[in-house]
Copies of this chain bind each other. A is one copy, B any other.
Amino acid sequence: MQALMMNSQLMISSILKHAEKAFPTQEIVSVTVDNPLHRYTYKDFGARSRKLANALTTLGAKFGDRIGTLAWNDYRHLELYYAVSGSGMVCHTINPKLFPEQVAYIINHAEDKFIFVDVLVFPLIEALKDHLKKVEKIIVMTSPAAMPETSMDNVVCYETLLEAENDSFEWPEFDENTASGMCYTSGTTGNPKGVVYSHRSTILHALVGALPDSTGARAEEVCMPIVPMFHVNAWGVPYASIMVGSKLVMPGPKLADGETLHKLIEGEQVTYSSGVPTIWMALLDYLNKTGKRVNSLKTAGTGGAACPIGIIETFNKKYGTTVKQGWGMTEMSPLGTIYSPTAEMADYTQEQLIGLQAKQGRCVFGVELKIVDEDNNELPWDGVAFGALKVRGPWIASGYYGMSQTPGDNDCPVDSDGWLNTGDVAMIHPNGFMQITDRTKDVIKTGGEWVSSIDIENAAASHTDIAEAAAIGRYHPKWTERPLLIAIKQPGANIDKDALMAFLKDKLHKWAVPDDVVFVEELPHTATGKLNKLALREKFKDYEFPAA
């Protein structure tokens, strides 16, 4: 029997329409190159987004066209989020920090028709100009006075474009499964792959992301997304915060500058902010050096990489800020799990809560999680068993752009039962808290046991003489694989292999203690700053264990 409810589609434009009417005076504050502290209201934001929607029509953009952005977190990028998706085009955010050939590949693969680019990133576009096959126009996101010199003849100024338009525009309503946004994920192997979000997935993700036990977004919050808007839509903050009417503070290109971040937090009384752990490291360093504080900051959201417990402890004990660690993927919009205590944790000590905050968090409503063994049998949520982590839900990718959508196919990330392979190995505690133990491809399989390379790395890095460590599995005639540790010493430290092995024996299961340690001067990293274990395995492909 069909229900008798209105067939209203979930539209990104409905966020903007609601926000303009319900919170006209709320502020959005941005750092940009042409204005160190730009400030306007939701009402202005709505009017300019409608001007931009008209400008897109004038430029010749059509329903379904991909519109690329190479930009930082500011109000113009926010206008693009809403104007592009709201008028039925696809807002394709691109990471300007990728290798130039990756940027060119992504723009060409998505067939972007227009590129909106921050003035600081414009040189990258100029360098790539002969390689961008389908791009008709480049719009530089700045005012006429700040426009760069260029020999290119298809470059337009953002503010000049908007000035020519009026602010009347009716946001169209269409199927909520229409593409609204696109974000490429770049692994260590192969070309970047495009994830395509829908209006439906974006709205559902924003609602669940704003729940009290997720980020708790609300009208009285002052929210600063430090995580870039090209990094899975800044984890959805630009949708959730505006939906609920928060004040937004956008740090522009100053994403990793402790001084700017501190000034914005104190100056705008930021209560909630989100960023990767290295950002928090930069802020804490700055606070530590200057003795300054961040009294307004109640919550620091984090994700993208496991958050070192030192960051969590310092925030909690020194500044009274709770770290909310979450876990997700570009393929998951990204929210899968997030720190949120349950009633049974009401009498936990601060230490116990910090321990929980160091895990990846509790699964949110809407995302189904499971861990499976090598034969795809589901494992219990007992805090002991760990296996390959799979997920399912309405904001999770069914495939990549231009690749197979058939579950079970080799280049489709979804298995034949309809679950997305995350590529992570995890355990889940009885209270629903999930803990990533490794990447599937990095886990070391030794004599039937799975050993987490991350556990070994963390144990090694906890030695004061070790600056960074990587563990990989290498061939062993008896155990198939055994762990090899590759480490960088702290400057001036003179720890040797035996001392480190002895130290690790106290910290790890017997079978997880590496069979050998190699000290190196540097370790390879990917463009997004993660350890490049593929390169390491390649480098050590002929390595043989001494005893073997």
List chain A positions with a Cβ less than 8 A from chain B.
1-10, 14-15, 17-18, 21-26, 64, 90, 177-180, 195-201, 204, 207-208, 210-213, 216-220, 222, 243-247, 340-344, 346, 362-363, 365-366, 368, 381, 392-401, 405, 414, 418, 420, 430-432
Contact = CB atoms under 8 A, between A and B. Distances in A.
A398 B6 contact: yes
B178 A10 contact: no
Nearest to A194: B4
Contacts of A207: 204, 207-208, 211
Give the residue among A1, A2, A17, A394 with the most B Cβ atoms within 10 A: A1
A17 B213 CA distance: 18
A393 B342 contact: no
Given A4-B400, A7-B177, A212-B244, 10 more contacts: A2-B177, A3-B178, A6-B420, A21-B363, A25-B344, A211-B244, A212-B216, A220-B341, A220-B342, A222-B343
Contacts of A399: 4
A22 B432 contact: yes
Contact of A217 (B26, B177, B212, B431): B212
B5 A397 contact: yes
B177 A220 contact: no
Contacts of A9: 394
B418 A341 contact: no
A22 B364 CA distance: 9
A420 B5 CA distance: 11
| CB-CB nearest 9 A-B residue pairs | A3-B198, A22-B432, A212-B218, A1-B64, A8-B394, A4-B196, A1-B179, A207-B207, A219-B342
A177 B3 contact: yes
15 contacts: A2-B178, A3-B196, A6-B397, A8-B393, A15-B365, A21-B363, A23-B432, A26-B344, A204-B207, A212-B212, A218-B340, A222-B343, A244-B365, A245-B343, A246-B343
Contact of A195 (B4, B90, B363, B405): B4
Contacts of A179: 1-4
Nearest to A430: B24
Consensus secondary structure, chain A interface: loop
B343 A247 contact: yes
A125 to B, nearest CB: 24
Contacts of A219: 213, 340-343
A398 B8 CA distance: 10
Given A381-B21, A430-B24, A1 B177 contact: no
Given A26-B342, A212-B217, A405 B4 contact: yes
A341 B246 CA distance: 11
B393 A200 contact: no
A180 B212 contact: no
B211 A393 contact: no
A198 B5 contact: yes
B6 A393 contact: yes
B5 A396 contact: yes
A327 to B, nearest CB: 15
A381 B17 CA distance: 14
A25 B8 CA distance: 37
Nearest to A396: B6
Contact of A18 (B198, B340, B365): B365
A396 B4 CA distance: 9
A21 B432 contact: yes
A394 B9 CA distance: 7
Nearest to A403: B4
A7 B211 CA distance: 22
A343 B395 CA distance: 30
A368 B199 CA distance: 18
Contacts of A10: 204, 394
Given A2-B178, A180-B3, A245 B342 contact: yes
A197 B2 CA distance: 9
Contacts of A199: 3
Contacts of A414: 6
Most buried by B among A25, A212, A244, A344: A212
A307 to B, nearest CB: 21
Given A219-B341, A244-B365, A6 B178 contact: no
A397 to B, nearest CB: 6
A264 B220 CA distance: 32
Nearest to A211: B210
Nearest to A340: B219
A21 B367 CA distance: 12
Contact of A1 (B178, B201, B247, B340): B178
A213 B23 CA distance: 13
A412 to B, nearest CB: 10
A398 B342 contact: no
A395 B5 contact: yes
A110 B485 CA distance: 69
Contact of A4 (B5, B200, B397, B432): B397
A208 B240 CA distance: 12
A186 B10 CA distance: 31
